[in-house]
Amino acid sequence: MCTSAIRFCFGFPALALLLMAPPAAAIDAAVLPPATAEAMAQVASPQAIAEYRRKLREYQAARAAFDQKAEPYWTSIAEKRRGRNAKRRERQAITSDDYVLTQPPLYDGPKRPVDPEPGDKPPERKPLPVVADFLKAAATHFQFTPQRPAREVEFKRAYGRTALASGLTREQIVRVYAFETGGNGNHDMQSGLSASRPGSRAISTAVGYNQLLTTNSVSLLAEQGHDIVKALTEKAAGLSGPARKAMDHKLAILKRMVAFTRSVPVQWSEHEKLANTPQGWGVHALVLDIDIGPLLQTHKLLTSVLFARAKGYTKPLSAAELEMMNLTGDSTGLDMVTMPQAMRERVPTANFFQRGGYERNPVAIRHNTVAKLLAITDERMNVNSNLPGARELAGAF
């Protein structure tokens, strides 16, 4: 089961996007090249249909042969994972024998051919909600408008103060921001969207410095809401006049949102259902608020740090290690983090994926050991930390 700290279970889609290119660089796979669309709109000739069927048989034979090799491998991956989980429950040491140490087979046969015969038009992909939708939902369902900064550096300062006070380090904060946003993201940045690319489309609901998904916001508020309410209550105590009235109003709304997120069992799957409702979108707008957004994003990272400590791992987490837990989930990430370097060099990244997630992830395939995956994460942090947004955050402390 995915926990609240997990962005995706064993899939690493965010990792591939963020390592391969700036977050705004997304390809709309649903749009066909004009030539392909025109060809599909025409009636295919008998020769084209025969050629398609021949290529389809070749493809099916190649895939069947590949599956015969791949299925036993991925079965062993699942068995080893179950064995590691059982050993951890019994507090037994994990060794290299608890991992599959060979790399998975990779399909290198022919691609599935395109059917030249016109068929039913595939359903249009439902667009993802964007920041404007989150704001509208918050106003409609909770009568809430997040307090936005007049200048971006104000949000960075608020985030820096909150994160440092929680025990996170300046290096962790800046480098995770650099990785998640590409080094230049604002507090309202959404994955896939860019003002410099008209027509760009959101590729996820991830928003902000740590790129929280709608489910992250719902889950964090359900589990950490009492701490966030306490922090705002303490802040309100030092205010007076209109500022105090505004904060009291914000607190009342926050409490309503906390109650909403706690209306289901504390499970990622249940929180995901809430997150996909208009009310869940409204909760996600909290990420944009200068008082609450820094608290949510800090808790997102802090839960990983506290999880590692609770499991007996007391060494400081490097920014890359923290990011691995942030992206893959606490249990999976800690599995990698607690490995000695010699094991990191040997253990394939495939051990932390489901088959489908791995075969769609060029980053994990190219950087195919734990050591290589952490190294490329560090490298991307190094590069992006020199960009203006990351430098501004570093200077905001």
CA-based radius of gyration for the chain:
23
Are residues 189 and 130 in contact, defined by beta-carbon separation less than 8 angstroms?
no
Is 169 a member of any domain?
yes
Domain interval for residue 55: 45-115
Residue 315 scores a pLDDT above 60: yes
Residues 261 and 365 in one domain: yes
Using 50, 70 and 90 to split pLDDT, how confident is the model at 208? Answer: very high
Is 13 a member of any domain?
no
Are residues 263 and 270 in contact, defined by beta-carbon separation less than 8 angstroms?
no
Q: Supply the pLDDT for residue 194.
A: 78
Is 31 a member of any domain?
no
Taking all residues of the chain, what is their mean pLDDT, rounded to a whole number? Answer: 88
Q: 101-115, 240-254, 318-332, 339-353 — which is least confidently predicted?
A: 318-332
Q: Supply the pLDDT for residue 336.
A: 92
Q: Supply the pLDDT for residue 152.
A: 96
Q: Is 369 exposed, middle or buried (0-12, 13-18, 19+ CB in 10 A)?
A: buried
The domain spanning residue 321 has which CATH number?
1.10.530.10
The share of the chain scoring above pLDDT 70, in percent, equals 88
Residues 182 and 293 in one domain: yes
DSSP designation for 119: -
Q: Supply the pLDDT for residue 42.
A: 60
Q: State how far the Cα of 214 lies from the Cα of 346, in Å rounded to an integer.
A: 36
Is 142 a member of any domain?
yes
The dihedral region occupied by 239, where left means phi > 0, alpha psi between -120 and 50, and beta the remainder, is: beta
Instruction: Find the helix or strand (DSSP H, E) in which 236 lies.
Output: helix 214-237
- Counting DSSP H helices and E strands in the chain, the numbers are 18, 0
Residue 263 scores a pLDDT above 80: yes
Q: For residue range 146-189, what is the model confidence (pLDDT) as tens digits?
A: 999 999 999 999 999 999 999 999 999 999 999 999 999 999 99
The 3-state DSSP class for residue 352 equals helix
Residue 272 scores a pLDDT above 50: yes
The 3-state DSSP class for residue 332 equals helix
Q: Supply the pLDDT for residue 29.
A: 36
CA proximity to 307, closest of 293, 290, 324: 324
Residue type, 40: M
For the chain, what's the residue count? Answer: 397
Residue 122 scores a pLDDT above 80: no
Residue 237 scores a pLDDT above 60: yes
Is 362 a member of any domain?
yes
pTM above 0.75, yes or no: yes
Joined together, the tokens standing for residue 195 give 């003002």
Q: Supply the pLDDT for residue 39.
A: 47
Residues 289 and 340 in one domain: yes
Q: How many domains would you assign to the chain?
A: 2
